[in-house]
Every structure is written in C-alpha cells, then in structure tokens.
Amino acid sequence: MNTVLLVTVMAAATFATAVLSAVAGFGGGVLLLPVFVGVLGPRDAVAVLTVAQLAGNGSRVWFNRSEVDRRLVGIFAAGAVPAAIAGALLFATAPLAALTRLIGVFLLVMVIWRRWRPHAARLGDTVFAAVGAASGFGSALVGSVGPMVAPFFLARGLLRGAYIGTEAAAAVVMHLTKLLVFGAVAVLTATNTAIGLALAPAGAAGSWAGKKIVDRLPAGVFVLVVEAGLVVSGLVLVITGG
C-alpha cells in the first residue's frame, strides 16, 4: 500500500471516528487506534493518535466552549497530569509485542466495562481527581480511555454539549502532557508529528459534522457501532500481537 493511500485511509478513519465521538461522546480514539496500529505499529500509532486526538478534542472544546465546566476540568487534570507523565515514561520503554496485546485487551475491557457499568456514582472532587490519575496513566499506555471515564463525567450531571466539551477539554490536558513527554524521550518524531497534524483537519471536520447531528440522531446507535468495532479490533490485536 503506497503512502498516499495509507494517509487517505487514516484520514477517512479519523473523520469517521471523530463524528462518532462528537455524537456518542466517546469511542473515537479507541476505535481509531487499531487502524493506526495496523498501519504504523503500536508505538508510533499511540504517538500519532495523541497528535490527532489533540486536534479532534480541541475542536470539540471549541464547538462547545460556552458549556465547558472549567472547574471540573481542573480537578480532573490535578490527577491526570502527573499520572500521564509516569505512563508516558513507561510507554517509551515497553516492548512492542506486549504493547500490541495490551492495546487489544484494553479494547475488549472497554466493552465489558461499558456493559457492566453503564452508569457511575457521582464522585466527590478528591475521588474524581483519582479517576483523572487512572485515566492519565492508562491514556499514556494505550492512547485513549474515553469509554472508561465517560460515565464519571455523565454522573456529574453534564449533558450533551456540556458533557462533550468538558470531557474533551480534560482529554486535551492529557494529550498535551503526553506529547511533551513523548517528545522528550524521542517517541514523538518529526514524522509522527507531521502525520498527526496532517490528520487534524479530518478530525476537526468530523467533530463539526458530529456537532451538527448530535441533537438529531440517537447516540445509542453509534454506541453499538463503536462497541462492535472494539470487540473485533481487540480480538485481532490480541491474536496477532506476537
């Protein structure tokens, strides 16, 4: 497969999953990850995904900027930033085969978690910061943990634009932190950065399209599509990870 075709495939996948994220509020990153792993390998895939997700989440923050709960983002970031640094440092030295299988298992756990705990109890600020820490660490290792943390944001009473914008703003903080560490330990290269930036317009366009339809279509339909994709992708990565 030539370079132009590869970039086209990744751009199309980025757009489609950004639409899913904007409508369902989660799932774009974890569904996009196996596509990137197949094209780039696990270490480069997470680095490129981080750049692309930064653009996608940034656009969702912008489109929902008037509804973002900035205080909640700050609480989440208090736990997420130091944990993301630790996770990114560990990621830089982890063996590739182990990373591939870890990502596959993670995708399957996403679906189980969503079915087991579709709703979460409202947490106090201190415990919510701990959720941020777990999210930051996991995001650094596998690229995106949106489905796991989504119920906790929803439990704070956030709806539609407020939920999507606030969760995206928290993700932006994690992605920025990871990129700084990835750059410092040479995981993020000029090539990875260029690929991620090239995909940014597709992610922003998908977020815009999703914002336009978020009030018109049932998010449940998209959730089922996301979960089916996660199961298939997770199984493929676990089986072929060696």
For residues 149 and 98, the answer to whether their CB atoms sit within 8 Å is no
pLDDT at 76: 94
* pLDDT of 242 strictly over 60: no
Judged by average pLDDT, the poorest of 57-71, 77-91, 135-149, 204-218 is 204-218
| Residue among 12, 21, 34 at smallest CA distance from 229 | 34
CA–CA gap between residue 90 and residue 137 (Å, rounded): 9
For residues 68 and 165, the answer to whether their CB atoms sit within 8 Å is yes
CA–CA gap between residue 178 and residue 146 (Å, rounded): 15
Other CB atoms within 10 Å distance of the CB of residue 173? 20
What's the pLDDT band for 85 if we cut at 50, 70, 90? very high
Residue pLDDT, tens place only, 34-45 = 788 888 887 888
Judged by average pLDDT, the poorest of 29-33, 128-132, 201-205 is 29-33
Please enumerate in sequence order all residues whose Cβ is within 8 A of that of 154, keeping only pairs 6 or more positions apart, or say none.
119, 120, 163
What's the pLDDT band for 232 if we cut at 50, 70, 90? confident
For residues 177 and 132, the answer to whether their CB atoms sit within 8 Å is no
Residue pLDDT, tens place only, 71-83 = 999 999 999 999 9
CA–CA gap between residue 190 and residue 74 (Å, rounded): 30
**Mean pLDDT, rounded, for 213-231:** 65
CA–CA gap between residue 100 and residue 122 (Å, rounded): 33
CA–CA gap between residue 71 and residue 167 (Å, rounded): 12
What's the pLDDT band for 240 if we cut at 50, 70, 90? low
**DSSP assignment of 149-201, as one string?**
HHHHHHTTT--HHHHHHHHHHHHHHHHHHHHHHHHHTT-S-HHHHHHHHHHHH
What's the pLDDT band for 27 if we cut at 50, 70, 90? low
CA–CA gap between residue 135 and residue 84 (Å, rounded): 8
pTM of the model: 0.73
Domain boundaries defined on the chain: 6-240
Residue pLDDT, tens place only, 95-106 = 767 766 777 777
For residues 101 and 236, the answer to whether their CB atoms sit within 8 Å is no
